[in-house]
Amino acid sequence: MSQNKLQHVFPKASRYDPEWVRRNSMGENVLLNLESLTKNLELKPGMRVLDLGCGKAISAIFMAKEFDVTVWAVDEAIPASDNYQRIQDAGCSDRVVPLEADARALPFAEEYFDAIVVVDSYTYFGTDDKYLPYIARFLKPGGRIAVVDVCFSNEIESLDQVPEFLQKDYQNYWYFIHTVNWWRKLWEKTGLVQVEVAEKLAEAELVRQQYVQDFEQQGEKDPFAKALAQDKEHFISFFRIIGRRTGKSAYLQDYKESSKK
């Protein structure tokens, strides 16, 4: 892929060492997807931002550096101490706070954040109808929740609709993936957010090409990169959805208790 093209479409992400980004991305290039998302998301200096499912925290580092916001980098699988070391190495220890926490049991005050950003991880917990009402608790009225992740071009309603190239891995990696319209409906019916953006990424083809190229060059096996390489019809894509928090509240049985049942 032309480096000039990447720099033109992703001017901010292209300034970061590509080896550092690849080493610290848990899948596709996290900064490409994040920059695609922030093109539609206004982040102002001094804002409090929750980076949920932050992985190795390079998305949080990016937002702190590029937008001068304060970021709480939360992930359940990556030790906070490991992320803190990366944050220190990047010179962001005054603007990024690492936390090790479950996305369903967050230790924050209600209406604490100006924005909640979720890059490449919302599909792991956000498909639950009760999750948006839970996470919206922590967002100020008028604040934004913004997600970028993988999607399908058509909804799969039954196993006989699974494309042939996905059939082997579908029940391990893909059964919780949906269309953009599915996500829009899930959010809109709560009344808790006004959906401002719900669309496939205009930059999706570049993200796809870079992801496949990275893993082919490294000779590593990755089920997602393999599926993207085999997807000749572009059934798999990437999407962004941004919702503005309304003033509406919703009854929600205690999430921590209900999720254990």
**Backbone φ and ψ of 2, nearest 5°:** -65, 125
Furthest C-alpha separation in the chain: 52
Residue 59's Cβ-count burial label (10 Å; 0-12, 13-18, 19+) is buried
Q: What is the pLDDT of residue 153?
A: 97
Residue 94 CB partners (closer than 8 Å, separation 6+): none
Helices assigned H by DSSP within the chain: 3-9, 18-23, 30-38, 58-67, 80-89, 131-135, 180-188, 204-218, 223-230, 255-258
Q: Which helix (H) or strand (E) holds 117?
A: strand 113-119
Q: How many structural domains are present in the chain?
A: 1
pTM over 0.85: yes
- Residues of the chain short of pLDDT 50, as ranges, are 257-261
Mean model confidence pLDDT for the chain: 92
Rounded-to-integer distance, Cα 59 and Cα 201, Å = 18
Q: In which domain, by residue range, is 200 found?
A: 3-258
Residues in CB range of 112: below 8 A, 6 or more apart: 48, 138, 140
Q: What SS3 class is residue 46?
A: coil
The pLDDT of residue 126: 97
What CA–CA distance (Å, rounded) separates 235 from 7?
26
Taking CA atoms, 143 is separated from 10, 115, 126, 163, 196, in Å, by 25, 5, 18, 38, 12
Residue 260: the pLDDT is 47
Query: What is the CATH classification number for the domain harbouring 136?
Result: 3.40.50.150
Within 13 Å of residue 73, how many CA atoms lie on the same side as its CB?
30
Q: What tens digit of pLDDT does each residue of 212-229 get? A: 887 777 666 788 888 999
Q: What is the pLDDT of residue 214?
A: 77
Beta carbons of 258 and 207 less than 8 angstroms apart: no
